[in-house]
Amino acid sequence: MKIQTAIVFCILVSAVAFCGCMQTQETTPDNAIANEQVRTVTDSRGIEVTIPAKIERVATVSDGLVEEVMYIFGVDDTIVGLGSKGSQFVSNYSYSLDNGRNLSIEGGKNVALALSPHLKDLPLFMDYGSAMNLETLASLKPDVVIIRLGSSSFLSGEDENAQKSIRMIESLGIPVVVLYTPECAKNADPTEISDEIRIIGNVFGEEKKAEEIIAKLESREDRIRERTQNISDDQKLGVLLFGLSSMHRTETAAGIAWGLKTTESYIVENVVNAKNAYRSDVGTFQVINTEQVLAMNPDVIILGTASGYHPPDELYYAPYYRNLRELDAVKDHHVTSLPYAPRNSAERLEYPINMMVIAKSTYPDRFEDIDLNEWVLSFYQDIYGVDYTGAEELRAAQLMDWCVEDESV
């Protein structure tokens, strides 16, 4: 009898264990599948955003940076809509000069468009200065929307329209990952872009590639800093970050100047170790008049691209800038243009090129061994994985072919 009882007991224990195993086998896969279908990403706001584990459709509001990183990750074909026309422009410029020349410059485009030509055909669900078209966005059925605050569609992280747009997108049940540009940081340090790259890497499960991009960008900045770190205050040159703008050029106004709170100013003062000649700490950039420019009389002038691309020859020879020809930088031809970047209200992955152009223009003796053309081509090849011909195409897209001809810069 005891033996029979023991046998029955063993059978019952086995049955319970078996049922337990069956229950685990029945419930665990559902939980595992649920966990595998989504994951969480912490964006620049510090908010945890739940996104699909497999992302097949992406909408961006970025003006280039997000699209560039996605190209490197090999997922740019998942972009189905854009919230800024900056990635679709191809820009041409022409100038009539006092020296009898008619200067034409063609083919300027966003690096993202040069890398991913299909961007020009994508639907636009908003643009700078316009409201977001939620109906268009919803029709794209994006798995996630990536929004970069501090770029031209949303110029500030505190932009009320941006916050309203984010809430409206989330009300549609679409996850929103928000990035903060360097302009949103207190010191406008361009390496804040590293955090943006990490977040994008987390979105697409490309954390390792993200760190590789960051290392390549930051190492180039470090090498520029090494060459300028021992410049004393009395040796620092004055650099005016100047925007030649037909919209802001009047009988009294000369153009726009980048103040101390801009990323470009950070590069001048903290990387290149020079002085921003325009000492305003109000806002980002300001309209300035001819008298202000003449009073500053900077050692070097760097032409920005917030109002389109402008070559040094425009400042040297255009009839409407005759009053500025007494500037030492103009007389000595110490004027350089930054690479073309549509609506350059925020830095993109090419920010080390801006650093090198500013550094080599400001302190040519310290960068005498740097062939700017080869340095730029090497950058494109290393960052984007393009071949030499592809790098030349990117150089042309940023209207940098002048560095092939002008070995003095």
The CATH number assigned to the domain holding 108 equals 3.40.50.1980
Indicate whether 151 pLDDT > 70.
yes
Choose between 298 and 31: higher pLDDT.
Answer: 298
312: which 2 tokens?
């040094």
One domain, residues 66 and 158: yes
The reported pTM is 0.88
Q: Which domain holds residue 289?
A: 230-405
pLDDT averaged over the chain? 88
Indicate whether 1 pLDDT > 60.
no
pLDDT at residue number 35: 58
Indicate whether 19 pLDDT > 50.
no
One domain, residues 146 and 245: no
Residue among 267, 269, 327 nearest 296 (CA): 327
pLDDT single digits (tens) 212-256: 999 999 999 999 999 999 999 999 999 999 999 888 787 778 999
Q: How confident is the model at residue 18 (pLDDT cuts 50, 70, 90)?
A: very low
Given 217, 250, 274, the domain boundary residue is 217
Residue among 276, 260, 409 nearest 337 (CA): 409
pLDDT (average), residues 278-289:
86
pLDDT at residue number 206: 98
pLDDT at residue number 281: 85
One domain, residues 295 and 388: yes
Indicate whether 16 pLDDT > 80.
no
168: which 2 tokens?
């409206």
Q: How confident is the model at residue 13 (pLDDT cuts 50, 70, 90)?
A: very low
**How many structural domains compose the chain?**
2
One domain, residues 267 and 350: yes
One domain, residues 207 and 246: no
For 272-287, letters b (16+ CB in 10 Å) and e give bbbbbbbebeeebbeb
pLDDT (average), residues 296-318:
92
pLDDT at residue number 7: 43
Q: State the pairing for strand pair 58-61/300-303.
A: unpaired
Q: For 136-249, list the strands marked E by DSSP.
A: 144-149, 176-180, 238-243
One domain, residues 179 and 211: yes
At residue 382, φ and ψ (nearest 5 deg) are: -70, -45
Indicate whether 94 pLDDT > 80.
yes
Indicate whether 258 pLDDT > 70.
yes
Choose between 288 and 127: higher pLDDT.
Answer: 288
One domain, residues 209 and 234: no
pLDDT (average), residues 183-196:
90
Residue 5 within a domain: no
Indicate whether 146 pLDDT > 70.
yes
Cα–Cα distance for residue pair 39/49, rounded to 1 Å: 8
Cα–Cα distance for residue pair 167/164, rounded to 1 Å: 5
One domain, residues 341 and 251: yes
Residue 358 within a domain: yes
Residue 16 within a domain: no
pLDDT at residue number 54: 94
Given 189, 217, 245, the domain boundary residue is 217
One domain, residues 140 and 84: yes
pLDDT at residue number 93: 86
Residue 2 within a domain: no
Residue 167 within a domain: yes
Number of C-beta neighbours around residue 207 at 10 A:
11
Choose between 129 and 244: higher pLDDT.
Answer: 244
Residue 245 within a domain: yes
Residue 4 within a domain: no
pLDDT at residue number 284: 76
Q: How confident is the model at residue 203 (pLDDT cuts 50, 70, 90)?
A: very high
pLDDT (average), residues 291-314:
92
pLDDT (average), residues 144-158:
84
One domain, residues 140 and 243: no
Choose between 288 and 406: higher pLDDT.
Answer: 288
Given 217, 243, 274, the domain boundary residue is 217
One domain, residues 116 and 151: yes
For 99-129, letters b (16+ CB in 10 Å) and e give eeeeeebeebbbbbbbbbeebeebeebbbbe
Residue 29 within a domain: no
Residue pair 361/166 in contact by the 8 Å Cβ criterion: no
One domain, residues 197 and 302: no
pLDDT at residue number 193: 96
Q: How confident is the model at residue 9 (pLDDT cuts 50, 70, 90)?
A: very low
pLDDT at residue number 131: 82
